[in-house]
């Protein structure tokens, strides 16, 4: 049995089903990211594990112990919130040691544990500093120290980096990942940020409408999505209908194409390129004639929206083209993620 085992969990608010028979296992020492857009159920799932939401059906077990209906303080989990929820009137040491005081630890033992956390999080010398005088990244570390100080069985993180500047967020991702691996704690991390999930997690659970659409290693979910929804969420947000011709030939679908012949294709903007001639294009590449309708400079080149007649697609290119320029979008066959037009879970190779 996995260290954290969730089986057939159902949560409803009123008549709305928020979690729909969710099952997932997390191994000891593993970090699993729950990835999805707002309203998909990822935070409800995390709060169910923490004990703040009680499910109507299903079970939650940690190390074989059923915690489904235990109150939060009996679950031996620690949750790190998006806002950090630090006490503004307390020092760094006071915040880190707060959970220990609530558990009746003696002052000397609390001081030793706080010192351990300060060293672990590279906050030596900050013990007496008010948390109101800290940067966003330092506050994040204090919140993490408070969560880890109680030595929880599970660390639950609810978008803890969403309020940080991009540069700080990048740095702290790597710090958190290294720390989690070093201490070997089991963690569940909620995020809507694809890059964050790919960077931090051993496995990613992509959630949609209260269900897990796909669970797997970051490389598998990114390169081998099971459905058009997962493909789009993992960055392959160009989507168009194609029809299968003779052999492996593909062409844009047109009105009146039989549904049985249609495929739904997704591809990433950085995996396509623009060409004025098609002489050097691979024979199995998809070529979409079109017109540049929008152009954005993105630092390493340009991002274009190209109208192809049947769909608008995004493509990145180093050269600058004026809006209104006729061009061709070339998509290598290997870059196409193909699905049945009804968006079933079966990927087409």
Residue 47 has what pLDDT? 95
Alpha-carbon distances, residue 304 vs 271, 288, 299, 335 (angstroms)? 13, 14, 13, 18
DSSP code string of 325-347: -EEEEEE-GGG-EEEETT--S--
Please check whether residues 201 and 136 belong to one and the same domain.
yes
Q: What is the CATH number of the domain that holds 333?
A: 2.40.50.140
CATH number of the domain within which 42 lies: 3.40.50.300
pLDDT in tens, the chain (349 residues): 899 999 999 999 988 999 999 999 999 999 999 999 988 999 999 999 999 999 999 999 999 999 999 999 889 898 887 766 778 888 999 889 888 888 888 999 999 989 988 888 788 888 889 888 888 778 888 888 888 888 888 999 998 887 777 887 888 888 888 888 888 899 999 999 999 999 999 999 999 999 999 999 999 999 999 999 999 999 998 999 887 764 456 777 666 666 667 788 999 999 999 987 666 667 778 899 999 999 999 998 999 999 998 889 999 999 899 999 999 999 998 999 999 876 555 556 5
Q: What is the pLDDT of residue 131?
A: 86
Whole-number Å distance between alpha carbons of 92 and 112: 14
Domain boundary among 201, 232, 263: 232
Q: Which of 232, 256, 282 finishes a domain? A: 232
Residues 197 and 288 in one domain: no
- And the tokens for 145? 């120290």
| CA-based R_g, the chain, Å | 24
Same domain, 77 and 223: yes
Flag whether 345 is in a domain: no
DSSP class of residue 62 equals E
CA distances from 183 to 14, 61, 120, 128, 155 (A): 41, 22, 10, 25, 12
- Boundaries of domain holding 18: 4-232
Q: Based on the domain organization, do 275 and 183 belong to the same domain?
A: no
- Are residue 187 and residue 259 in the same domain, yes or no? no
pLDDT by residue (tens digit) across 173-207? Answer: 888 888 888 888 999 999 999 999 999 999 999 99
Predicted pLDDT at 247: 43
Helix (H) or strand (E) holding 230: helix 228-233
Residue 279 within a domain: yes
- Name every residue whose Cβ is closer than 8 Å to that of residue 346 and which is 6 or more positions away in sequence: 226, 339, 340
- Same domain as 107, residue 246: no
Residue 346 lies in a domain: no
Interval 330-344: pLDDT, tens: 999 899 999 987 655
Q: Same domain for 104 and 222?
A: yes
DSSP assigned state of 210: T
Q: Are both 36 and 182 inside the same structural domain?
A: yes
Q: How high is the pLDDT of residue 346?
A: 54
- The total of structural domains in the chain comes to 2
Residue 41, domain member (yes or no): yes
Same domain, residue pair 207 and 327: no
Residue 279 has what pLDDT? 65
Q: Are residues 102 and 186 in the same domain?
A: yes
Q: Judging by beta carbons within 10 Å of its beta carbon (0-12, 13-18, 19+), is residue 298 exposed, middle or buried?
A: exposed
H helix or E strand, kind and range, residue 169:
helix 166-183
Instruction: Examine residue 347 and state whether it is found in any structural domain, yes or no.
Output: no
pTM of this prediction?
Answer: 0.85
Tell me, yes or no, whether 94 and 20 share the same domain. yes
Residue 245 covered by a domain? yes
Q: Is 143 among the domain residues?
A: yes
State whether 203 and 299 are in the same domain.
no
Q: Using the 3D structure, point to which of 232, 258, 277 is the last residue of a domain.
A: 232
pLDDT at res. 174: 84
Cβ atoms of 263 and 338 closer than 8 Å: yes
Would you state the pLDDT for residue 33?
Answer: 97
pLDDT the model gives residue 340: 85
Residue 171 domain-assigned (yes or no):
yes
């Amino acid at each position: 049995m996995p260290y954290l085992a969730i089986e057939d969990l159902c949560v409803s608010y009123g008549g709305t089903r928020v979690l729909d028979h969710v099952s997932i296992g997390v191994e000891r020492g593993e970090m699993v990211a729950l990835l999805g857009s707002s309203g998909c159920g990822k935070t409800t799932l995390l709060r169910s594990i923490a004990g703040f939401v009680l499910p109507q059906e299903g079970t939650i077990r940690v190390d074989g112990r059923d915690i489904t209906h235990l109150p939060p303080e009996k679950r031996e989990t620690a949750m790190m919130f998006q806002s950090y929820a630090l006490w503004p009137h307390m020092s760094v040491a006071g915040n880190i040691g707060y959970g220990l005081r609530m558990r009746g630890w003696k002052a000397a033992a609390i001081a030793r544990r706080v010192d351990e956390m300060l060293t672990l999080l590279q906050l030596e010398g900050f013990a007496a500093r008010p948390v109101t005088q800290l940067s966003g990244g330092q506050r994040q570390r204090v919140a993490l120290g408070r969560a880890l100080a109680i030595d929880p069985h599970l660390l639950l993180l609810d978008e803890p980096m969403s309020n940080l500047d991009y540069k700080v967020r990048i740095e702290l991702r790597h710090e958190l990942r290294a720390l989690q691996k070093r201490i070997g704690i089991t963690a569940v991390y909620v995020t809507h940020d694809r890059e964050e999930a790919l960077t931090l997690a051993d496995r990613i659970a992509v959630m949609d409408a209260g269900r897990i659409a796909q669970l797997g290693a970051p490389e598998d979910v990114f390169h081998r999505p099971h459905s058009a929804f997962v493909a789009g969420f993992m960055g392959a947000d160009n989507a168009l209908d194609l029809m299968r011709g003779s052999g492996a030939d593909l062409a844009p679908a047109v009105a009146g194409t039989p549904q049985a012949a249609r495929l739904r294709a997704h591809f990433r903007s950085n995996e396509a390129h623009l060409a004025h001639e098609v002489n050097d294009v691979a024979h199995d590449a998809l070529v979409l004639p079109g017109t540049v309708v929008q152009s954005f400079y993105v630092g390493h080149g340009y991002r274009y929206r190209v109208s192809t007649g049947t769909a608008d697609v995004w493509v990145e290119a180093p050269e600058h083209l004026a809006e209104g320029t006729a061009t061709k979008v070339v998509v290598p066959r290997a870059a196409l993620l193909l699905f049945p037009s009804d968006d079933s879970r079966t990927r087409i190779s």
